[in-house]
Structure 1
Amino acid sequence: MIADRDLIHPLRTDESTGEPYLQLPAPYAHIVLTPQRLSDAAASVKHMNDPRVYMFITGPPLPYLEEHALAWIRTCTEESESALAQLCAGARFVDGCPVRVIRDISNSSIADAPLIGDCGFGRHGFGEMAKTRPVEAKQLEEANMARKTGDPGITWTIGGK
């Protein structure tokens, strides 16, 4: 359980699990963002093997297997826990995202809400440039990663690196 709620505002804490979450405002109050859960693996495999999803993403293997999902969840969990720990320690800025999984609580509690998407936030790695301009991409990534946490010049990305 998180001791000082002011340190993680606007995040809230689910009373039944102690898990942090961010609830969207109306008219989307039925949507919350939470950390990854190991129990999300089956839904992740289903979504990542759906052609309506995989045709728009690059990187994950196809077919996407449970072992891939579990590895991804562990990576995301480490990043989320680190960001949350920094917030709880009083950090004003953090490099990670403590909540990234999109869930619909229309018909369930937060603890039982199904995964319907993922929206991770992180520093941009300029990977889209790597094939055509690898030297420039590497320089941009290194410069972006070297910026101090909180620097307004950091380039961020949603859903990728």
Structure 2
Amino acid sequence: MPLCFNSTTKEPYLRLAAPHSHIIITPHRSDPIADGIPARIEILNHPAVYMCLEGPPYPHLQEHAESWCNGKRDEMQEVVESLVCEFQEPSRNGEKARIFDKCPFTCIREVTEESSDGDPLTDVFIGDIGLVRYSFYEFRSGSDERQAARDRNNAIPGGDENIVWQFGDYLAPSHHGRGIMTGVIRSVIHDWAVPRMNVRDIRASAFVGNQGSLKVFLKNNFEETCTLEDWAPVSESRGGGTRSIVVVKWRGMN
């Protein structure tokens, strides 16, 4: 589906295709309640979620959530403002759409009320999706090799098809098993990453045994590239030690 704009709230957003058209992906919002901070804290303290993530901190506290949301909102502010201008002052016919270096659509929300024109009026936060430059899991955490690879990747100018990207995501356990995250990944790739960031290379990873997460990516034309044994460090709050991860790579539009 095309990029959407809420004429009531002036918020750009992505909307999933049917049968999940009640799910939207928005930027962060300035009001903590509207941004979903209480729901975010609850989700990230649920064992079905935090045990599948290397981060963020667990237990996840109010200050953790506020710091993350404030940082992401500030980081994406210029992109969001540019998109609002696009909608309010449509480009001349034939003018090429601007290419961005960030994905501002990070907050997964379930719409609970719409206007007569179809604008989302109320919604609830149910998860998070991030598309950022790749961490190069093939190299050990904290190694010089990983840092050098990240530095090279980060130095590539935005919009260059040689940038390597990665997904990170989580969803409220109440919404697992419905195909929602599969649709979220598809929407971010097709409706934003490819046309507005010129993304061509995407990776992701999941702990060995997290079949639900792997299936989401395989359904979106990713393929397994390797399994890294005892590779990812686990925080003491999550039990400590290391866990094995599976790395997947996107094969392109299908």
Q: Taking structure 2 as the reference length, what is the TM-score of the superposition?
A: 0.54
SS at match of 1:115: strand
Alignment partner of 1:150 is 2:159: yes
Q: Which amino acid aligns with 1:129?
A: F
Q: 1:64 to 1:119 in 2, by over 3 A?
A: same
Distance 2:52 2:38 in 1: 20
Q: 1:50 to 1:35 in 2, by over 3 A?
A: same
- What does residue range 11-160 of structure 1 map to in structure 2 within 5 Å? 11-37=3-29, 38-39=32-33, 40-87=36-83, 88=85, 92-105=98-111, 107-109=112-114, 110-126=120-136, 129-131=139-141, 134-159=143-168
Distance 1:108 1:79 in 2: 29
RMSD (Å), alpha carbons: 2.4
Q: 1:141 to 1:43 in 2, by over 3 A?
A: same
Q: 1:146 to 1:83 in 2, by over 3 A?
A: same
Please tell me whether the aligned partners of residues 97 and 120 of structure 1 are also in contact (alpha carbons under 8 angstroms).
yes
Shift of 1:127: 6.0
The alignment covers a number of residue pairs equal to 151
Please tell me whether the aligned partners of residues 80 and 99 of structure 1 are also in contact (alpha carbons under 8 angstroms).
no
Distance 2:139 2:12 in 1: 35
Q: Which amino acid aligns with 2:104?
A: P
Which deviates more from structure 2 when the two are superposed, residues 80-89 or residues 145-154? 80-89
Shift of 1:119: 0.6
Query: Over alpha carbons, which structure has the higher Rg?
Result: 2
Higher strand proportion: 2
Q: Which amino acid aligns with 1:14?
A: N
Distance 1:151 1:139 in 2: 19
Please tell me whether the aligned partners of residues 113 and 123 of structure 2 are also in contact (alpha carbons under 8 angstroms).
yes
Please tell me whether the aligned partners of residues 84 and 98 of structure 1 are also in contact (alpha carbons under 8 angstroms).
yes
Q: Which amino acid aligns with 2:7?
A: E
Which deviates more from structure 2 when the two are superposed, residues 15-24 or residues 64-73? 15-24
Shift of 1:96: 1.1
Please tell me whether the aligned partners of residues 86 and 94 of structure 1 are also in contact (alpha carbons under 8 angstroms).
no
Q: Which amino acid aligns with 1:135?
A: D
Q: Which amino acid aligns with 1:28?
A: H
Instruction: Name structure 1 gaps, 5 residues minimum.
Output: 1-8
Distance 2:157 2:109 in 1: 32
Distance 1:18 1:97 in 2: 18
Identical-residue share of aligned pairs (%): 36
